[in-house]
Chain A
Amino acid sequence: MPRYLLTRAWHSALTLVLATIVVFLGIRALPGDPALSLAGEDRSPEALAAIRAEYGLDQPMIVQFGRYVERALHGDFGTSIRTGLPVSDMIRTALPVTIELSALAILIATVLGVGAGVVAAVRRGRPAEWVANGLALIGLSVPHFWLGLLAILYLSVATGLFPASGFVPFTEDPIGNLHHIILPAVILGTGLAAIIMRQTRSAMLDSLSADYVRTAKAKGLSPRAVIGRHALRNSLIVVVTIVGLQLGGLISGAVVTESIFGLPGFGKMTIDAVFQRDYPVIQAVILLTATAYIVINFLVDLLYSVIDPRIRVAGEAA
């Protein structure tokens, strides 16, 4: 493995350990006795004693932390106060919904963003650029949950074209599943599309004035081939970078989008947990989000060095 990737792997591992410590200390920072928070309704002395023993709350901090990590590694996040189900089971049902929603949103954002970005760069100074730029600015500025609200109001309720809320698993009814998830995915994708568009446009403008593109033009390649084969290839890196950087925003966006459209995903589970003070669920959500962010960004870096060898070289030279 090249040295660059080794360094990145070490940084990711370190960040993961630090994030775990932060979440662990966060639970200890909860007001009052953690056993009380974890117990929920049943606050009998026996129940509290059982929880203290289970979580090792009577042990020194370092032992508690060790036990916490051990349990997390086994996928054991305790039992939800609200539902009484194991937190890991709840996550296993909720996660696929969120992953499907986010993946579809990224796909939509990439198609719209790269398309509009290329048009804006190629048609520089023409009305098409102004329209694309204007749409991107609006995409950056519009509150997406409000867009979702309007979509439900004016598309779902008024025309009945889309269901206003609810969800059908893909395995049960693929068409119905897409029907339920397409509108939320478009809404979630608009903000990302705006960011991808702006970056694609400036990357395209840079590469359109680069020497290799001039060479390609000079040797008689059609404009379509120049844009498609040479300039556009570079914008692939742009998309990969942005998806990595914007992952946090995407996760936050998914939480809101799910609450509006009533999708039973990770986000809705999180919000329900906050209002029910369902601490086992909250800490699992925070730890898993941080882990997902760190792992996905490491994968993005891996992918990066595959797409663009220069990054590998520059990283090793540093």
Chain B
Amino acid sequence: MTVVSVPDAGTSPAGLTRRTRVLRRLRRNPLAVVSFTVLAIAVLIAVLAPWIAPYSVEQTDFTNIFSPPGTPGHLLGTDDLGRDVLSRIMLGARASLEVGFLAVLTSLVVGVPLGLAAGYFGKLDAVIGRFTDLLLAFPFLILAVGLAAIRGASLGNAAVAIGIAQIPGVIRVIRSDTLRLKSLDFVAAAVVDGASDLWVLVRHILPNATSVILVQATVALPAAILAEAVLSFLGLGIQPPDPSLGTMLATAQQFATQAPWAATFPGLAIMVLALTFNVFGDALRDALDPKGDR
């Protein structure tokens, strides 16, 4: 992509591009490095889970029910059907990430164009504002309840419900960034130059809004992962026997006193995923903050 008229991409006195400076700041922040490493490992495990999980997720072993953690062959123990907890966590994490990415993608695909339009075209602002108000009135769980009633509970519907609930947040941040960029000289110059509105939006405003979009995505992703866990826990998301960290906890709840580990590790996995995304998101936001450009 050739971006000519992007002021942010100009070089600093040190002769470094903005991207290099952001990456350098990230590398110097130990929290960013640690969280990124953990995330990379988690994503790798999740992607490769079907091949590297020690057991198949549906493989039951009724002679080996509720084995405690550390049992030879079952590092994190087994559940009520003798299934390997570690293997199910690996595949559950995969499903969590899948729903998380799908939800965030949904919210960006709908929210970014609406946010750009609301910020750029004054006339559309009020209409899109009312649409945002309307979406906000339906919390994600209520949306999921409605969708489950109409279309049945599934991974896809959970992702859609979470994604729809995240659209207002996307519209808000993109709108305010568009308002800011619209008032800058280089946009005015492009307009004077005879550029169409669409051209200005796609070639000038959108590339400059990428850092805002990136930060929004890192905030939304852990929230979506937590939301998926809630929906699956309640039975409104991924359906058994498909592994999901939320459904694992729902089953484990019934046997919590016999097998506390089955109720502990899946939750810990959700927390580690969400925590590392949140830590990395914070670091990324700090690194992208122009106040640090010196």
Q: Do A and B come from one complex?
A: yes
Interface of A toward B, CB cutoff 8 Å: 11-12, 14-15, 18-19, 22, 26, 29-31, 137-138, 140-143, 145-147, 149-150, 152-153, 157, 247-249, 251-252, 255-256, 259-260, 270-271, 274-275, 277, 279, 282, 285-286, 289-290, 293-294, 297
- In whole angstroms, how far apart are the Cα atoms of A268 and B278 in the complex? 30
A252:B140 contact, CB within 8 angstroms:
yes
Q: Is B165 an interface residue (CB 8 A)?
A: yes
Query: Which residues of chain B are near A149, meaning CB under 8 Å?
Result: 249, 252-253, 256, 263, 267
Query: Which residues of chain B are near A293, meaning CB under 8 Å?
Result: 136-139
User: Of the candidates B130, B252, B278, which one forms a contact with A141 in the assembled complex, judged by CB atoms under 8 Å apart?
Assistant: B278
B271:A146 contact, CB within 8 angstroms:
yes
B150:A29 contact, CB within 8 angstroms:
yes
Query: Which residues of chain B are near A249, meaning CB under 8 Å?
Result: 139
User: Of the candidates A142, A157, A251, which one forms a contact with B141 in the assembled complex, judged by CB atoms under 8 Å apart?
Assistant: A251
A286:B230 contact, CB within 8 angstroms:
no
Q: A31-B150, A146-B249 are in contact. Are A137 and B142 (CB under 8 A)?
A: no
Query: Which residues of chain B are near A19, meaning CB under 8 Å?
Result: 134, 137-138
B148:A274 contact, CB within 8 angstroms:
yes
Kindly list the 5 A-B residue pairs having the minimum CB-CB distance in the complex, ordered from nearest: A146-B267, A248-B139, A252-B141, A141-B274, A141-B275
Q: Is B222 an interface residue (CB 8 A)?
A: yes
Query: Which residues of chain B are near A157, meaning CB under 8 Å?
Result: 256-257
Query: Which residues of chain A are near B230, meaning CB under 8 Å?
Result: 143, 145, 252, 256
A290:B141 contact, CB within 8 angstroms:
no
B139:A252 contact, CB within 8 angstroms:
yes
How many residue-residue contacts, CB under 8 A, span A and B? 140
A137:B278 contact, CB within 8 angstroms:
yes
B134:A15 contact, CB within 8 angstroms:
yes
Residue in chain B with minimal CB distance to A249: B139
A274:B145 contact, CB within 8 angstroms:
yes
Q: A138-B275, A143-B230, A249-B139 are in contact. Are A260 and B222 (CB under 8 A)?
A: no
A137:B139 contact, CB within 8 angstroms:
no
Q: A11-B133, A137-B278, A252-B139 are in contact. Are A143 and B234 (CB under 8 A)?
A: no
Number of contact residues on B: which range applies? 35 or more
Q: A150-B264, A271-B234, A290-B137 are in contact. Are A285 and B145 (CB under 8 A)?
A: yes
User: Of the candidates A29, A30, A248, which one forms a contact with B165 in the assembled complex, judged by CB atoms under 8 Å apart?
Assistant: A248
User: Of the candidates B129, B133, B140, B234, which one forms a contact with A248 in the assembled complex, judged by CB atoms under 8 Å apart?
Assistant: B140
Query: Which residues of chain A are near B142, meaning CB under 8 Å?
Result: 251-252, 270, 285-286, 289-290
Q: Is B36 an interface residue (CB 8 A)?
A: no
Query: Which residues of chain A are near B150, meaning CB under 8 Å?
Result: 26, 29-31
- In whole angstroms, how far apart are the Cα atoms of A306 and B119 in the complex? 28
Q: Is B213 an interface residue (CB 8 A)?
A: no
Q: Is B146 an interface residue (CB 8 A)?
A: yes
- In whole angstroms, how far apart are the Cα atoms of A248 and B134 in the complex? 12
Query: Which residues of chain A are near B140, meaning CB under 8 Å?
Result: 248, 252
* Most chain B CB within a 10 A radius of its CB, from A137, A141, A146, A277: A146
Query: Which residues of chain A are near B229, meaning CB under 8 Å?
Result: 143, 145-146
A14:B130 contact, CB within 8 angstroms:
yes
- In whole angstroms, how far apart are the Cα atoms of A275 and B13 in the complex? 63
List 17 additional contacts besides A15-B137, A26-B146; criterion CB under 8 Å: A30-B149, A141-B275, A141-B277, A143-B226, A146-B229, A146-B263, A146-B271, A149-B267, A153-B257, A157-B256, A249-B139, A251-B142, A252-B141, A252-B227, A289-B138, A294-B133, A294-B137
Query: Which residues of chain B are near A141, meaning CB under 8 Å?
Result: 222, 226, 271, 274-275, 277-278
Query: Which residues of chain A are near B249, meaning CB under 8 Å?
Result: 143, 145-146, 149
Q: A146-B267, A255-B141, A289-B142 are in contact. Are A18 and B134 (CB under 8 A)?
A: yes
Residue in chain A with minimal CB distance to B131: A18
Query: Which residues of chain A are near B260, meaning CB under 8 Å?
Result: 153
Q: Is B235 an interface residue (CB 8 A)?
A: yes
CB distance from A99 to the nearest CB of B (A): 16
